[in-house]
Amino acid sequence: MKDFFLTDEDRRFRGEVRDVLQRELAPRAEAIEDGQDWEAVKTVVRALGDAGYLRLMFRDLYRGPLRSPGLTHATILSEEAAYLNYAFETTIGTALSCAYPLHKHATPSARDRYLGGILDGTAIGAIGVTEPNVGSDSAGMETQIRLDEATNEWVIDGLKRYISNASVADVYIVYGITDPDVPAQKGMSAVVVVDGAAGMSFPRTYHFMGRRGCVVGEVAFEGVRVPADHLLGERNKGFRIMLEMFNFERIILGGSGLGVSRSAFDIAKAHARTRVTFDQNLGAKQLIWDMIAEMSWRIDAAELLTYRAAKMYDGGIGGKELMREAAQAKLVATETANFCADRTVQILGGDGITKEYGRAEQIYRDARALPIVGGTSEMAKYLIAARELPGLKPNL
């Protein structure tokens, strides 16, 4: 790992984070995977909160030794957590995606009430975007949010699905349409909803082939009411907030993909060195040599793109100026995770598809979600091409 974009301070931080995760997450990773132990997840989240790692994105609230904490360090945290257990990393990645707009766009009263718990690790956050008829095309959102002027409350009706931390989160940021008479991009808003709100329910929890231990499900809103000051930013300006959040999320997912890639790669290299077949180490075979080489260059490419995007963000570049770079980081890192997971299973042969012989099969199952969550690989390519071919509208 070359980490060309990282400073010595960044590298020291990586070592510190790795030590904490080895102490707190590694001993609980099996319980999270095999027992889907939510209490184990919460214990590690609290430990990260106590260490100050959930405040890395917020320089005004950070109290640690880093001189300029930021997305670079949150991405390092994501990478190191995903190396050990991607399901756990999904939980903290989602919580940070909830904390980000809370910190930047919430009213002072809502921020004071809900942000601190997420950053301390005593509360869990969630984001409500995806719906039964809305995936990548978030502009087709159907959830309705209207203002009841008589009570000065926002009223929410709709159904969200594939929501990470659904039913176990304490704070939800929900996107919906506040002006149905204009295009969704001009009539979308975001509001804060607290667990236990009347009219909020969780109709279904999903069971995935991978990411065991990460709770994902549906959240239904039937006349859910929240105070007027729970609006994020301005009315009908939620689409811009969502786009900002997507840049953040995609770079974090770049870190997730890197962690999963490195975990698979280390397993593949160890097996190639020690497995003997036809009186030779397996790694000496030309076809295995080729697989190892391709995993290596793919990981380096993913790392360069991911930390370039993170450093750009920390340097003050955002919005549309960062969209291409964030999409490239997410695309390459998550596709690399799938490639490395697949090749690792192939190198291990039968040992790669059985739980009795290590984590290769778990990583293979976990990795498949990465090119889908947070915007598909196809959407990432669309965002990249849109920058390269300005003025052209593709036929999706």
Q: What is the pLDDT of residue 10?
A: 95
Q: What is the pLDDT of residue 135?
A: 75
CA distances (Å), origin 218, targets 85, 198, 348: 23, 16, 37
Helix (H) or strand (E) holding 217: strand 216-227
Q: What is the pLDDT of residue 298?
A: 98
Q: What is the pLDDT of residue 286?
A: 83
The dihedrals phi and psi of 151, each to the nearest 5 degrees, come to -110, -5
Query: What is the CA angle 103-108-113, rounded to 5?
Result: 80
Q: Would you give per-residue pLDDT tens digits along the chain (396 residues)?
A: 567 789 999 999 999 999 999 999 999 999 999 999 999 999 999 999 999 999 999 999 998 899 999 999 999 999 999 999 999 999 999 989 999 999 999 999 999 999 999 999 999 999 999 999 887 777 789 999 999 999 999 999 999 999 999 999 999 999 999 999 999 889 999 999 999 999 999 999 999 999 999 999 999 999 999 999 999 999 999 999 998 999 999 999 999 999 999 999 999 999 998 876 776 777 778 888 999 999 999 999 999 999 999 999 999 998 889 999 999 999 999 999 999 999 999 999 999 999 888 899 999 999 999 999 988 999 999 999 999 998 887 776
DSSP code, position 131: B
Whole-angstrom Cα distance, residue 170 to residue 195?
A: 5
Q: What is the pLDDT of residue 1?
A: 54
DSSP 142-211: --EEEEETTTTEEEEEEEEEEEETTTT-SEEEEEEES-TTS-HHHHEEEEEEETT-TTEE---B---SS-
Distance from the first to the final alpha carbon of the chain: 37
The domains located in the chain, with CATH, are: 8-120 (1.10.540.10), 125-236 (2.40.110.10), 239-388 (1.20.140.10)
Q: What is the pLDDT of residue 235?
A: 96
Closest C-alpha among 64, 35, 59 to residue 49: 64
Q: What is the pLDDT of residue 2?
A: 63
Angle between helices 320-348 and 286-314 (to 10 degrees): 160
Residue 130 CB-half CA count within 13 A: 17
Structure tokens at 70: 């930021």
Closest C-alpha among 77, 10, 71 to residue 44: 77
Structure tokens at 263: 């975990």
CA distances (Å), origin 300, targets 70, 212, 297, 333: 22, 28, 5, 9
Angle between helices 286-314 and 238-274 (to 10 degrees): 150
Whole-angstrom Cα distance, residue 337 to residue 307?
A: 16
Q: Are strands 231-232 and 188-194 parallel, antiparallel or unpaired?
A: antiparallel
How remote is the C-alpha of 305 from its chain's centroid?
Answer: 16
Closest C-alpha among 253, 101, 115 to residue 174: 101
Q: What is the pLDDT of residue 249?
A: 93
How remote is the C-alpha of 111 from its chain's centroid?
Answer: 22
